Amino acid sequence: MPIIGPGPDDPEYDNWDPAWRHQDTPFRRWLLEKLTEAGWSFAAEIATSSAPANRYNGLTDIDAGNLASLIGCSPDEVRAAHKADLADWRQEQQLRDHPDLAVLDVDLDRLWRRS
């Protein structure tokens, strides 16, 4: 069966990590909590589809507004959760690029929970 849309070798997928679909990230946890509080029965599905896009494609004003509407908060609150997630991701990337054992030891539990 032919692939509809871009294939896995297309440049659109550069730097995409398939683990993001399952990785426990701060943005995913925040989004799941807020959607669950708002009573959405498919909160996990929304969090799963939004969390990878948050890191890979960024968060557009439209996406922030849509998520804010679903949750019942302001777009600024969504952007703050997004920025906190990116800061966490940046720190993780630095640890992976420069695995100083002392720094890694301090962060080991956090990394383990995200796997």
The answer to whether the CB of 44 falls within 8 A of the CB of 32 is: yes
Residue labelled with tokens 């009573």: 39
More confident: 58 or 66: 66
In terms of Cβ atoms closer than 10 Å to its own Cβ (0-12, 13-18, 19+), residue 96 is: exposed
**What is the pLDDT at residue 52?**
67
Pick from 21-30, 68-77, 89-98: least confident: 89-98
Tokens of 70: 């679903």
Q: Would you say the pTM of this structure is higher than 0.85?
A: no
Residue 12, C-beta contacts closer than 8 angstroms, at least 6 positions apart: 6
Q: Residues 9-58: pLDDT tens digits? A: 555 555 556 666 677 889 999 999 999 999 999 999 888 888 766 777 78
